[in-house]
Structure 1
Amino acid sequence: MFTLPKNLSWRLSQTQWHCFLLGLLACFWISACNGQTLFAPSASNQSVSQECQVVQHQLGETCVPFEPQRIVATDEIALEILLALDVKPVASGEPNLVSSRSRHLADKVAGVESLGKEEQLNLEKMVELKPDLILGFSVYSEYYPIFSQIAPTVSLNYTHTGWKEELRQVANILNKSEKAEQLLADYQVRITAFQAAMGNRLTQTEVSVARFYTGSQISEFRTRSSFPGSVLDDMGLARPESQNQSVKPDQTYIDVSLERLDLLDGDVMFAAVDPGAEASLKNFQKSPLWQTLKAVKNNRVYVVDSGYWIFGNILAANAILDDLFRYLIEESP
């Protein structure tokens, strides 16, 4: 298996890393010269390359085919956007921090090959799939020259609250802008319905989003600068005042120790639990301070899937909205 070693760029000096990249690129070139091509454009691919659109991105500019047919998504954000646009990639990377693809994508990823963890993609499999476009968010700059030897590569900038614009960016590259705008319009219709159902409770309900990790004694709350924070802002839901204080711009989360559980409190708490982190949540629940929280005393702590509550795009935003309808309206005390 031809993979990049995990965290290799952190373990090697800059000089060693550059030597590694040069050696790897040399392998691509030598293989091509020997007729054992890892990836060589066919005549048809060369023709397509002359009829492409130039896309500016954070690592440069790339000539992208007008109608790519075999897209590789390097990460789950790119995967989610492609699926939302009714474009099924041939393969994708999986999240680094959880065991597998998020469950809200489960019914959409059949037939999409896994390339392993986002930070350690299986390059051998990627080459075998012969992609005509590699698309990802914040592709490691060290990987970019390697990916570009395989197929045109586009690295878009990921921001937690800029997910709507990121959806539009990908849609524009793939000539799917009309589909993207329809997705966002449908999302807005659901927001309006949610706000109408909440009525006066909308601005009077303070919502906290906490995350629990596997094997960690620290939790965190997600700020308004985070992905779930942006979704809650779309809804018009209030956040606890304690969470609005001492938060720097663009700070997406604040660590919370057992001694500062008060920072997690709100009228409602959504506890986003990573796979296998149930023991971590239980450890917090054993604390006497946990029992003093307003959301706990009112039985309004709801355990949700961190796979779509912490990072995501339009599909994850709608999955969060599903939870908001369920817990704040349908099952509201």
Structure 2
Amino acid sequence: MKRPSLIRIAIAATTASLLVLTGCSSSPSTDSAPTETSEGAFPVTIEHAFGETVIPSEPKRVVAWGWGSADAALALDVVPVAIPFQSYGGNSDGVLPWIEEKLDSLGADTPTVLPDTTEAPVEEILAAKPDLILATYSGLTKDEYDLLSAIAPVVAYPGEPWATPWRDLITTTGEALGKHHEAVKVVEDIDAQVAAQAAKHPEFEGVTIAQVWDFSGKFYVHTPADPRVEFTEDLGFKTATSVTELDTGESTFFYTLSHEKLDSLTSDLLISYADTQEDSDAFLASSPAQAMSQVTENRVAQVVGKDFIASVSPPTALSLTWGLDNYVDILAQAVAASK
């Protein structure tokens, strides 16, 4: 399955190579772990882009599709029976590190890992015998929704595909699982950890940022609508005016900027993403990058590594806190060096 993350949330479905998922399956899993649901929570009705879905009773076999739904269920101590393969940041089995850690903490086996397809793998989802399918942050089409709805209730995205805010994904998952209050608590705990980091680093307050990715010959700038930018601002940073002034409007979450114009993208700090340190070093040493004052004046925070980038692209119920300390340390070092 492909998601547009990493450059549009790390780069959009149009750059599928950023999130090329390599399908495979792990050993079959058992029913989802027993959960405590809110008394009288069911039936639940959830509205989304394709209408509304009624969940008549507490789900026992949950299938997650897309990005973040498996994380949200696990954060609520519900183990899905099947999850999507994630090659970007995942291990050889397509399982992300924060999901591995959560499964270990719950003493749960790895769920069945669905195959790598752009389209929802209907046959494999059917084989998992779900009584709920979570696709709240996905590229699910209407035809796929109709096919999957013949198998089990499907919770799709509320607006546009690949655009559900990470907090809404968590709370919607909580509603679907009958764990609304627990989901709100998950969001509150994450927000508290981010706020604690902001309080710990008052030097972040007001520092202007531009978040960028030079990938396959194109230079991407993330806009304030991108979840990674949003939560970086929650730490006290402020998006530089040049980011919005240069915005071409080609996407909600990012735009491309020609290498000849990089010197126009000014900010106190440049946050640069790259798959590897070699890629990062190559970009910063390039002629276009050397035209940027942030680069020549050592005002750059390098965010490097697929799993690390995936953890904030966009963040999930498990991934944000998984990568938060490392992310904050990198930003703190860069701010200190820039002064």
Same fold (TM over 0.5): yes
Question: How would you bin the TM-score normalised by the shorter chain?
Answer: 0.7 to 0.9
Which structure has the larger Rg over C-alpha atoms? Answer: 1
Shift of 1:132: 0.8
Q: Distance in 2 between matches of 1:90 and 1:264?
A: 46
Question: CA offsets, 1:85-141, max 9 Å, x none?
Answer: 222111122358777454443423551221123523433322221111111024211
Question: CA offsets, 1:203-248, max 9 Å, x none?
Answer: 34222222344xx100212110111121123223112221021435
Question: CA offsets, 1:279-307, max 9 Å, x none?
Answer: 65455334223234344332633123321
Matches within 5 A, 1:30-69: 52-69=43-60
1:264/1:303 CA distance change after superposition, 3 Å = farther
Shift of 1:264: 5.4
1:310 maps onto 2:313 in alignment: yes
Shift of 1:249: 10
Aligned partner of residue 284 in structure 1, secondary structure: helix
1:152 maps onto 2:143 in alignment: no
Aligned partner of residue 221 in structure 1, secondary structure: strand
Alignment size in residue pairs: 279
Question: CA offsets, 1:12-42, max 9 Å, x none?
Answer: xxxxxxxxxxxxxxxxxxxxxxxxxxxxxxx
Q: Partner letter of residue 326 of structure 1?
A: D
1:193/1:63 CA distance change after superposition, 3 Å = closer
1:319/1:107 CA distance change after superposition, 3 Å = closer
Q: What does residue 204 of structure 2 align with? A: 202
Q: What does residue 120 of structure 1 align with? A: 119
Q: Distance in 2 between matches of 1:266 and 1:320?
A: 24
Shift of 1:79: 1.6
Q: Partner letter of residue 212 of structure 2?
A: A
Q: Distance in 1 between matches of 2:100 and 2:271?
A: 22
Q: What does residue 184 of structure 1 align with? A: 187
Shift of 1:52: 3.7
Q: Distance in 2 between matches of 1:261 and 1:279?
A: 21
Provide the TM-score with structure 2 as the length reference.
0.71
Runs of 5+ consecutive residues of structure 2 not aligned to the other structure: 2-41, 104-108
1:61/1:239 CA distance change after superposition, 3 Å = closer
Aligned partner of residue 168 in structure 1, secondary structure: helix
Q: Distance in 2 between matches of 1:209 and 1:299?
A: 12
Q: What does residue 238 of structure 1 align with? A: 238
Q: What does residue 105 of structure 1 align with? A: 99
Kept in 2: contact 1:295–1:301 (CA 8 A): no
Q: What does residue 18 of structure 2 align with? A: none
Question: CA offsets, 1:161-211, max 9 Å, x none?
Answer: 732123212211212122222222222322332222222x22342222223
Q: What does residue 224 of structure 2 align with? A: 224
**More helix as a share of residues:** 1
Aligned partner of residue 45 in structure 2, secondary structure: strand
- The farther-off stretch of 232-241 and 105-114 is 105-114
The CA RMSD measured in Å over matched residues stands at: 3.0
Aligned partner of residue 76 in structure 1, secondary structure: coil
Identity between Structure 1 and Structure 2 (%): 23
Task: Kindly indicate whether structure 1 or structure 2 has the higher relative contact order, using CA contacts under 8 Å at least 6 residues apart.
Answer: 2
Among candidates 172, 175, 183, match of residue 175 of structure 2: 172
Aligned partner of residue 181 in structure 1, secondary structure: helix
Runs of 5+ consecutive residues of structure 1 not aligned to the other structure: 4-50
